[in-house]
Amino acid sequence: MGTRREISTLPPEADLARADSLAREIFSDIANKWAFLIIEFLGQRTMRFSELRDEVGGISHKMLTQNLRLLERNGLISRTVYPTVPPRVEYTLTEAGDALRGVVDGMCGWTQRYLRQIEASRAEYDA
Amino acid sequence: MGTRREISTLPPEADLARADSLAREIFSDIANKWAFLIIEFLGQRTMRFSELRDEVGGISHKMLTQNLRLLERNGLISRTVYPTVPPRVEYTLTEAGDALRGVVDGMCGWTQRYLRQIEASRAEYDA
């Protein structure tokens, strides 16, 4: 079945280490306002690029493109191209992306709530 | 009260931008097995360094120290030194750290559950 199949036979320790570095990468990638907002809006319904741009508000074309690619690469959203003229492109949360919504809500709420305390703690620790 | 007090009068946009970069830093910092485990065990009760090391298992003295400092700096745990001989040092989750437990559980569970799908998605996207 080729070398990729070997992944599922790796010992649990290797799985843990991979989950570890993957979690670090993904949560670092998505811990930004734009990714949070994109996940939130796509959680409501499938959207075209232009709809998403209107909903998110204040995001540049380039920044929206970058974030969508990043989310797509990590399997959090899927991108469907319809062969119309011009082509219609729609973005949808995948099952993994949808399951992430609750986690993102939690991250967002926690950060907003404890922002000042964390900053104060850092300033004190560094002093 | 000095310049630090000005923080609370910053406009919401500045708050959002700061929350953003802070969230990115913190969730990147704690998205690793050791930080997850430390938060989990301290969520059960206050512990001394040696107890925590025994509970976590397999963590080096240096790695535990590093992670504890990082969690302390971000205001997630507090460190209390009792003036015994030798000094007794105890670690406790702060309110912010305790509130983070649910988020960490969510991050952890999500990563374990979707690990293979995410890896497959990345491999496909990069191909």
Summarize the confidence of residues B115-122 as an average pLDDT.
92
**Mean of all residue pLDDT scores within chain A:** 86
Looking at residue A11, its pLDDT comes to 52
Identity of the residue in A4, A74, A122 whose CB atom sits nearest the CB atom of B74 = A122
For the stretch A43-101, pLDDT in tens is 999 999 999 999 999 999 999 999 999 999 999 999 999 999 989 999 999 999 999 99
**How many CB atoms within 10 Å of residue B40?**
16
DSSP track, B21-79: HHHHHHHHHH-SHHHHHHHHHHHH--EEHHHHHHHH-S--HHHHHHHHHHHHHTTSEEE
Rounded CA separation A28/A10 (Å) = 26
Instruction: Respond yes or no on whether the N-terminal peptide bond of residue B87 is cis (omega within 30° of 0).
Output: no
Please state, for a pLDDT cut of 90, what percent of chain B lies above it. Answer: 58
Q: Cα–Cα distance between B21 and B33 in angstroms, integer?
A: 22
Phi/psi at A106 (5° precision): -65, -45
Which amino acid belongs to residue A63? Answer: M
Q: Could you give the CA distance from residue A54 to residue A112 in angstroms, rounded to a whole number?
A: 24
B31: which residues sit within 8 A by CB, 6+ positions away? A20, A23, A24, A26, A27, A28, B107
Measure B81 CA to nearest chain A CA, in Å. Answer: 15
Please report the residues numbered 33 through 72 in chain A whose beta carbons come closer than 8 angstroms to any beta carbon of chain B. Answer: 33, 72
As to burial, measured by CB atoms within 10 angstroms (0-12 exposed, 13-18 middle, 19+ buried), residue A1 is: exposed
DSSP SS3 for A59: coil
Residue with tokens 């741009």: A53
Q: Establish if A79 touches chain B: CB-CB under 8 angstroms.
A: no
Residues of A in contact with B110 (CB under 8 A): 96, 99-100, 103
Cα separation of A86 and B93, whole Å? Answer: 55
Residues of B in contact with A96 (CB under 8 A): 110, 114, 117-118
pLDDT of B12 higher than 70: no
Structural domains of chain A in order of their starting residue, each with its CATH number? 32-126 (1.10.10.10)
Chain B residues closer than 8 Å to A121 by CB: 72-75
Angle at CA of residue A73, ends B36 and B37, nearest 5°: 5
In percent, how much of chain A has pLDDT > 90? Answer: 58
The tokens for B68 are 């504890």
| Helix A12-30 vs helix A95-126: crossing angle, to nearest 10 | 80
- Flag whether residue A28 sits within 8 Å of chain B, measured between CB atoms: yes
How many Å lie between the alpha carbon of A27 and the closest alpha carbon of chain B? 6
Give the residue among A28, A66, A29 at the shortest CA–CA distance from A49. Answer: A66
A24 touches chain B (CB under 8 A): yes
Q: Decide which of B97 and B26 is more confident.
A: B97
* Cβ–Cβ gap B114/A7 under 8 Å: no
The reported pLDDT for the residue numbered B41 is 95
Does residue B116 belong to the interface with chain A, where contact is any CB pair within 8 Å?
A: yes
Residue B29 has a pLDDT of 81
pTM for this entry: 0.75
Q: Which residues contact B61 (CB under 8 A, 6 or more apart)?
A: B53
Could A23 and B7 be called an inter-chain contact, meaning their C-beta atoms sit closer than 8 Å? no
- The ipTM value here is 0.78
